[in-house]
Structure 1
Amino acid sequence: MTTDAAGQPLIPQPPATVAALRQAIKQIAPAALPAFTQELDQAADQARHGSDLAPLQRFVAQWAVYVHIQRHPDVAADLRHWEDTAESGDAAQARHAASRIGHILDAAHAAVGLPAR
């Protein structure tokens, strides 16, 4: 899974629906499919018990951001790098890594039309 010379995403950003996100994950991050399914089941259960769609809306938003990032292998690699640094670095490195992670997530939220975290 690579981008072309112009750095184009692997696939177009899918609509923010469960079916479209599932299909995108199958294509670009198949290892994440079990987590997607488990979290979908949990969100559906929470929505049923609370008679509220908010858990499903949060689920779709979270996975739309995930797909947006994974569509860009360079961005996904940067995110993994900063997550590793936050986990294994000293306090200053962890703060810097958290800032970089925040920038990546904010950009992804904006790209899929969601407010910043």
Structure 2
Amino acid sequence: MKDYGVETRVEHYCCVVDLFGRAGRLAEAENFIFTSGFKNNPIMWRALLSACKVYKDAVAGNRAAMKVMELEPQESASYVLLHNIYADAAVEPLAATASVRELMQQRGVKKEPGLSWI
């Protein structure tokens, strides 16, 4: 604000989380979310969750997914991302992916089928 006259908004903070995530700095991204003042913004948590998928971090991915699911319990994308993180993990992937599917079923979350126009 002082240098350029631009007031920071939640979109700016989401971009920072995304940049930390793309750089593999997942712990810093999570800490940034907590200190940003927008810790209840699902977009920020989903950006972290996506980065956890790329870097196969099931522990941080689980924390991010649980937060997104708390904020948007009917949004299927978070469940799918967590399912894919577990599927890529080396530790008990079948039990973990089954637990995500069961959670979706309990909450009545339906994944929309993918489609392509190509």
Determine which structure has greater relative contact order: mean sequence separation of CA pairs < 8 Å that are 6+ residues apart, divided by chain length.
1
Q: TM-score range by the shorter chain?
A: under 0.3
- How does the TM-score come out when normalised to structure 1? 0.25
The answer to which structure has the higher helix fraction is 1
